[in-house]
Amino acid sequence: MGRYAIRRLLAMIPTLLAIYTITFFLMRATPGGPWDTNERGLPRQTLDALNAKYGLDKPLYQQYWDYLVGVVTRFDFGPSYKMTNRTVTDIVTDFLPVSIQLGLIAMTIALSVGLTLGIISALNQNKLADYIAMFIAIVGVSIPTFVIGPILVLIFAVQFRLLPTGGWSRPEHMILPAIVLALEPTALIARYTRSSMLEVIRQDYIRTARSKGLREIVIIVRHALRNALIPVITVGGVLLAVVVTGSFFVETIFGVPGIGRYFVSSIANRDYPVIMGTTLMLATIVTFMNLMVDLTYGFLDPRIRYD
Amino acid sequence: MRRFWSPRPTRFLASVALAAIVVAGCAPQQPGQTTTGGQAPGPTQQPAAAQELRYPIETVRTLDPSLATDNVSIDVITKIFDGLVDLTDDGKIAPQIAEKWEVSTDATKFTFTLRSNAKWSDGKQITADDFVFAFQRVLDPKTGSEYAKTIEVIKGGDKALKGEAPPTSISAKAVNPTTLEVETREPAAYFLALMSTWTAMPIRKDLLDKFGDKWINQGNIQTTGPFKLQEWVPDQRFVLVRNEEYWGQKPALTKITMRVFPDGPDQEGQILRAYEAGELDVTGKRDVPPSEVDRVMRDPVLSKEVAIFDQSRTTWVCVNNIKAPFSDVRVRKAMGMSLERDRLINQVLKQPLKPAEGVVPPGILGRQPNAWPKENLAEAKSLLAQAGYPDGRGFPEFTYLYNSSAANKAIAEYLQARWKEALGITMKLEAMDFPVLIPLRRGNKTYDSFRCSWGSDFEDPVNWYNTLFDSTADQTQQTTNWKNDRFDQLVRQAASERDPAKRQQMYEEADRLMAQDYFTIPVFFGAQRVLVKPYVKNYKVSRIAEGAALRQVSIQR
């Protein structure tokens, strides 16, 4: 298994290189440059000076290579063109931990609520409890965060003044964003759990367990849920990667200083190093989570081998 | 393998729940804050009559005056930096760090006498060298100052900016610590007004040498204004406190907490909700969002807290003066005269904007509003017919480019519908990202029309007539491809004219020429509808980029 993990880690290199290459040329092919974001267009000499300052006057292949070398040899992701006192590394180290913290809380909520809802509805298929749980799940995926977020703010912050409208310094600032961020993963996990549970509880070994006279809770938890978790883990791993790298809408609605909004603002600003840095960060986290998911399968199902 | 997996997943669920409690129990992670010891938590309810203001801002990019170009950064910078002089709302030059100045008769040499008691926030004296260094830095191409052009008129500035001469060769020198002497390349009557802008603020060389780009960070930065930076938590808040070293009258406010509302589609809504929840004392300079205007104006409490401030800003439609059918002045006039600006403003945009007859906003010298054509549908139709397009027949379909935003889209759709119904002409809309639009506007000779807008950097006619409309002015901005030799000649003369009466006359004649050629279609002048709690006194949003001036604000409960 160790060898498998190492092989997979090595396989990340060409993946990341491909992502770097595609992102580099896509962002440079996008019309408009980093200095075209101001109402006042810049005179030629200022443009030239800025391009020279950031090496944008060099041939494209040279820029492609220089940046890559900087990343690999010095772990240098470059300066932000727009935040004059910050580098990409500053931005990621400042804001990624916030997103991870919020994402982990949201994921915890999503797992506990989603699994519970999924199990309840599978065990009560086509009964009232099933309908209620699945209604909640559908609401969770179908109402966008930018609708539900402001509604919750209006109710809890403006109307009843129980929670702050946004910001990020006290624990109560986390409640609404964590709930809103958890909605979609909760719903997805609930639905995946339900369908795979339904499949599993019809299996022969469940009937065997029942006929052995095991208690229902033991059957559900030890025999059914564990086998039903594989598809849930698969989707959960990707959801976790997405959730810990921040959400543009949740972060802007609640004023959470996370990394998610930089995916959007860096593109709007044509802030090339920030686009590249955040993309590589996301790519690394997603590929790494996929590896983690694959390794988890072995724990859940001993029949899975990694040779 | 098996041993890693608890045979009783109930325990797993329990540990998940436990983890949730543990994680939720932590205080939120503070970005960019390395010191955590005893920091007071974010904005909370204030005790009565504390001279503290809670003010919203958006994403701040920099506090470096030499590099700032966006309204938000400038909003914070103008609270913590003073320059040589201030340009007051009625257009007068008031002393700030310079207590007096002399201007040579040909308006090319400016000698400023600095206050000997003007100090940086760390108590060091503000010297003429700090200004010389700032000017040299702005005009050094390596600095990459996007607003360098503003002070390029300093003698030698153009050469320095092109890299043909070292920045130290510009004609700005410190005769002694309190005497600053600057020469301009050509007579520049507006030079004093220019010295009020953020680009001309002093900078401390020792801080740059020591901290490099990070000289503006919390703890490193030293400033010259009535407030100073106490705390900067990136993307969260700025805390400004009164600068006790300030030479002049100290402001009443002791603390300003600026909460950052990140740029997003519902920013104004978020600011409004935070205001209604009692987390802000003002909505800053941001409008009440159009979807909330009716509710706010009907609300017995909120409607009394509404304040409207005019802005030195105009939005207009640029049309290509060298391309048919826009090359015909009758077509341009017909388009402008057929609009119903009141309806656009009150029913579509629901903003307190003012219909614009001309392109230069109130507050700028030279305006001749009466010279510009008035709204008149019958006459518009007849002009269009005279131009050869009766009821729009034969008028080619054309395109209007704009940078996408909810308001810009509403404006574009209004124009499209109105010109269709009033004149029978068809306009196609094309929305795009701002960085895509800007290069398209640059020196474009083949476009049809696009959205244009400009706000004063400083309220002087030179920032409009010369910066925008002189045909040799840098055509990267509001390209209409319009050229009128008499206009060019007038505004160039006016820029260097020292006699205010003559200068005004020249700009007035220039404005009449613009009206006569009607080279562009004015739509509206800017204004902001903000909310201010009744206990905040003397709150006023500035007409230019800098947000609200807070030095005269006080809290009276």
pLDDT digits (tens, 9 = 90+) for A25-40: 999 998 888 988 776 6
Give me the mean pLDDT over the B475-501 stretch. Answer: 85
CA atoms within 13 A on the CB side of B497: 18
Within 276-305 of A, beta carbons closer than 8 Å to B belong to 298-300, 302
Chain A positions touching B150 (Cβ under 8 A) are none
pLDDT of residue B15 exceeding 50: no
Chain A positions touching B31 (Cβ under 8 A) are 94-95, 97-98, 257
Q: Hey, are the CB atoms on A171 and B474 less than 8 Å from each other?
A: no
Q: Does A119 touch chain B (CB under 8 A)?
A: no
pLDDT (0 to 100) of residue B18: 39
pLDDT (0 to 100) of residue B214: 93
Give me the mean pLDDT over the B39-50 stretch. Answer: 49
pLDDT (0 to 100) of residue B457: 86
Chain B positions touching A168 (Cβ under 8 A) are 28, 30, 42, 236
Residue B41: pLDDT band with limits 50, 70, 90: very low
Chain A positions touching B144 (Cβ under 8 A) are 46, 49-50, 53-54
Chain B positions touching A32 (Cβ under 8 A) are 433-439
Q: Hey, are the CB atoms on A253 and B264 less than 8 Å from each other?
A: yes
> Across the interface, which of A53, A85, A101 has its CB nearest the CB of B144?
A53
Q: Which residue has the tokens 């909310």?
A: B531
Per-residue pLDDT tens digits for A38-71: 766 677 778 888 898 899 999 999 999 999 999 9
pLDDT (0 to 100) of residue B17: 40
Q: Hey, are the CB atoms on B266 and A33 less than 8 Å from each other?
A: no
Give me the mean pLDDT over the A140-151 stretch. Answer: 90
> Across the interface, which of A45, A221, A265 has its CB nearest the CB of B10?
A221
Residue A290: pLDDT band with limits 50, 70, 90: confident
Q: Hey, are the CB atoms on A255 and B16 less than 8 Å from each other?
A: no
**B176-209 per-residue burial string, b: 16 or more CB within 10 A, e: under 16:** eebebbbbbbebbbbbbbbbbbbbbbbbbbebbe
Q: Hey, are the CB atoms on B434 and A36 less than 8 Å from each other?
A: yes
Q: Hey, are the CB atoms on A158 and B149 less than 8 Å from each other?
A: no
Q: Hey, are the CB atoms on A94 and B62 less than 8 Å from each other?
A: no
> Across the interface, which of A108, A115, A169 has its CB nearest the CB of B20?
A108
Q: Does A206 touch chain B (CB under 8 A)?
A: no
Residue B485, token pair as written in the block: 């030799």
Chain B positions touching A263 (Cβ under 8 A) are none
In sequence order, the β-bridge partners of residue B278 are none
pLDDT of residue A188 exceeding 80: yes
Q: Which residues contact B434 (CB under 8 A, 6 or more apart)?
A: A32, A36, A37, A268, B403
pLDDT of residue B185 exceeding 60: yes
C-alpha to C-alpha distance for B110 and B101, rounded to whole angstroms:
7
Mutate to test the interface with B, among A1, A4, A42 (most CBs of B within 10 A): A42
> Across the interface, which of A42, A84, A257 has its CB nearest the CB of B234?
A257
pLDDT (0 to 100) of residue B4: 33
Residue B172, token pair as written in the block: 């700005």
For A102, nearest residue in chain B (alpha carbons): B28
Q: Which residues contact A67 (CB under 8 A, 6 or more apart)?
A: A24, A78, A273, A276
> Across the interface, which of B41, B269, B435 has its CB nearest the CB of A32?
B435
Please tell me the pTM assigned to this model. 0.87
Is the model more confident about A227 or about A176?
A176
Q: Hey, are the CB atoms on B42 and A168 less than 8 Å from each other?
A: yes
Q: How many CB contacts within 8 angstroms connect chain A with chain B?
A: 233
> Across the interface, which of A45, A146, A302 has its CB nearest the CB of B2?
A302
Residue A242: pLDDT band with limits 50, 70, 90: confident
C-alpha to C-alpha distance for B46 and B44, rounded to whole angstroms:
6
Q: Hey, are the CB atoms on A221 and B476 less than 8 Å from each other?
A: no
C-alpha to C-alpha distance for B199 and B191, rounded to whole angstroms:
13
For B266, nearest residue in chain A (alpha carbons): A253
Q: Hey, are the CB atoms on B29 and A98 less than 8 Å from each other?
A: yes
Question: Would you call the peptide bond into B167 cis, given omega within 30 degrees of 0 as the criterion?
Answer: no
Q: What is the ipTM of this complex?
A: 0.88
Mutate to test the interface with B, among A35, A53, A147, A169 (most CBs of B within 10 A): A169
pLDDT (0 to 100) of residue B136: 97
Measured between CA atoms, how close is B470 to chain A, in angstroms?
A: 15
Q: Hey, are the CB atoms on A169 and B28 less than 8 Å from each other?
A: yes
C-alpha to C-alpha distance for B437 and B401, rounded to whole angstroms:
7
Q: Which residue has the tokens 């686009």?
A: A275
Q: Does A2 touch chain B (CB under 8 A)?
A: no
Mutate to test the interface with B, among A27, A35, A45 (most CBs of B within 10 A): A45
Proportion of chain B above pLDDT 70, given as a percent: 90
Q: Hey, are the CB atoms on B277 and A165 less than 8 Å from each other?
A: yes
Q: Hey, are the CB atoms on B438 and A41 less than 8 Å from each other?
A: yes
> Across the interface, which of B9, B142, B267 has its CB nearest the CB of A225?
B9
Residue B228, token pair as written in the block: 């100073």
**B447-482 per-residue burial string, b: 16 or more CB within 10 A, e: under 16:** bbbbbbbbbbbbbbbbbbbbbbbbeebbbbbbbbbb
Chain A positions touching B216 (Cβ under 8 A) are 84-85
pLDDT of residue B51 exceeding 90: yes
Q: Hey, are the CB atoms on B24 and A302 less than 8 Å from each other?
A: no
Per-residue pLDDT tens digits for B312-360: 999 999 999 999 899 999 999 999 999 999 999 999 999 999 999 999 9
Chain B positions touching A82 (Cβ under 8 A) are 61
Q: Hey, are the CB atoms on A166 and B270 less than 8 Å from each other?
A: yes
Chain A positions touching B1 (Cβ under 8 A) are 298-299, 302
In sequence order, the β-bridge partners of residue B525 are B314, B354
Strand ranges in B47-178 using DSSP code E only, listed in sequence order = 52-57, 85-87, 93-95, 98-103, 109-114, 172-176
Measured between CA atoms, how close is B109 to chain A, in angstroms?
A: 26
For B473, nearest residue in chain A (alpha carbons): A43
Per-residue pLDDT tens digits for B128-171: 999 999 999 999 988 888 888 889 999 999 999 888 999 999 99
pLDDT (0 to 100) of residue B3: 33
Q: For residue B317, which of B463, B519, B482 has the smallest C-alpha distance?
A: B519
pLDDT of residue B21 exceeding 90: no
pLDDT of residue B10 exceeding 70: no
> Across the interface, which of B63, B236, B439 has its CB nearest the CB of A32?
B439
> Across the interface, which of B5, B16, B279 has its CB nearest the CB of A112?
B16
> Across the interface, which of B148, B237, B435 has its CB nearest the CB of A46?
B148
C-alpha to C-alpha distance for A211 and A205, rounded to whole angstroms:
10
Query: Residue B39 has what DSSP assignment?
Result: P
Kindly report the three-state secondary structure assignment for every residue of A9-71. HHHHHHHHHHHHHHHHHHHHHCCCCCCCCCCCCCCHHHHHHHHHHCCCCCCHHHHHHHHHHHH
For A29, nearest residue in chain B (alpha carbons): B436
Measured between CA atoms, how close is B325 to chain A, in angstroms?
A: 27
> Across the interface, which of A79, A104, A257 has its CB nearest the CB of B23?
A104
Q: Hey, are the CB atoms on B274 and A32 less than 8 Å from each other?
A: no
